[in-house]
Amino acid sequence: MLSKPRGLLFIISAASGTGKTTLAERLVQILSNLRMSRSYTSRAVRAGERAGVDYNFVSRDEFDAMVARGAFVEWADVFGNLYGTSRADTERLLESGQDVVLVIDVQGAQQVKASGIDHTAIFVLPPSFEILERRLRGRSADSEEAMQRRLAAARAEAGSYADYDYVVINDQLEPTVVRLQEIIAAERSRTHRMKKIAEDVIRTFRK
Ligand code: 5GP
């Protein structure tokens, strides 16, 4: 049997409250060949989270040791906690032909870009700042201080959309999921990625 072609790597970034995790989870449900990479984090487990499912939870020392041995494709300090994407886990998935989606912040996306790894980066914006704030306040048990920190980060990072390959406005969940599926399909159909399949077809044209 022919081995599957290498999978595609997608990045989704957005301010917290934009719905990026929900979007990625919906995509993974719908697209059988797409997996979400499980990040490592030094932050504490929140109520309702499961170790090894939501994140790989590690101590700060373990995280630092992973950084030192180059175990992360990217990592970042987000609101005082460390988060990173395992190079080995991501490579294993991509090599086995799985598409992978990383839900990571702007700093992490910049590192993936700088590393030269082939990827497609998508920035999700809320319809407006006001709607983002309303969504955040509606869902979160955060203190007012934490809320202000998230809103300040959203303000500071929104302009980063310009560095991404695609921008999607998350107005309503399902239409946004469809839009993301269209992006994934378009990326699959890019000429350089279709070369092998196209050449097989072209061969049938020859006498
Ligand atoms: P939370 O603590 O609410 O689960 O996540 C906080 C932020 O960390 C989110 O904005 C999320 O995008 C970011 N994040 C989660 N995993 C990673 C990762 O592996 N790398 C980077 N750079 N950011 C991450």
Which of ligand 1's atoms lies nearest the C-alpha of 20?
Answer: 12
**In whole angstroms, what is the distance from residue 8 CA to residue 168 CA?**
19
Task: Tell me the per-residue pLDDT of 175-206, one tens digit each, with 9 for 90 and over.
Answer: 999 999 999 999 999 999 999 999 999 999 99
In angstroms, what is the span from residue 201 Cα to ligand 1's centroid?
A: 42
Q: What is the residue type of 54?
A: D
Taking the CA atoms of 80, 169, 161 and 178 in sequence, report the sign of the dihedral they define: positive
Average pLDDT over residues 77-103: 96
| Integer angstrom CA distances of residue 123 from 97, 126, 135 | 24, 10, 18
Alpha-helical runs (H) found in the chain: 20-30, 60-68, 87-95, 106-115, 129-139, 144-157, 173-188, 191-203
Instruction: Pick the residue whose CA is nearest to atom 15 on ligand 1.
Output: 104
Q: What is the pLDDT of residue 141?
A: 74
Per-residue pLDDT averaged across 84-95, rounded?
97
**Would you state the pLDDT for residue 74?**
98
Tell how far CA 67 is from the center of its chain.
20
Distance of CA 104 from the midpoint of ligand 1 (Å): 5
The pLDDT value given to residue 139: 79
Q: What is the pLDDT at residue 75? A: 98
Smallest CA separation from ligand 1 atom 22, residue: 108
Supply the pLDDT for residue 2: 57
Q: Is the pLDDT of residue 32 over 90?
A: yes
Q: Indicate which residue's Cα is closest to atom 24 of ligand 1.
A: 104
Q: What is the mean pLDDT of residues 95-113?
A: 97
What is the helix (H) or strand (E) element at residue 12, kind and residue range?
A: strand 9-13
How far, in Å, from the CA of 105 to the mean position of ligand 1?
6
Q: Which of the listed residues 12, 18, 36, 39 should we mutate to test ligand 1's pocket, taking the one with most ligand atoms within 8 A of CB?
A: 39
What does the pLDDT average to over 37-59?
Answer: 94
- Give phi and psi for 2, each to the nearest 5: -70, 140
- Rounded to whole angstroms, the maximal C-alpha distance in the chain is 72
Show the ligand 1 pocket: residues with CB < 6 angstroms: 16, 39, 43, 74, 76, 78, 83-85, 103-105, 107-108
pTM summary value: 0.94
Q: How many angstroms is it from 79 CA to the middle of ligand 1?
A: 9
Say which residue, 140 or 51, is predicted with more confidence: 51
Strand partners, 35: 100
Using 50, 70 and 90 to split pLDDT, how confident is the model at 3? Answer: low
Residue 66 pLDDT level (bands cut at 50, 70, 90): very high
- Least confident residue range of 44-58, 129-143, 168-182: 129-143
Query: Would the pLDDT of 111 be above 60?
Result: yes
Q: Note the pLDDT of residue 172.
A: 96
Helix (H, G, I), strand (E, B) or coil at 71: coil
- % the chain with pLDDT above 90: 89
Report how far ligand 1's centroid is from the alpha carbon of 91 (Å). Answer: 19
Residue showing tokens 């080995």: 88
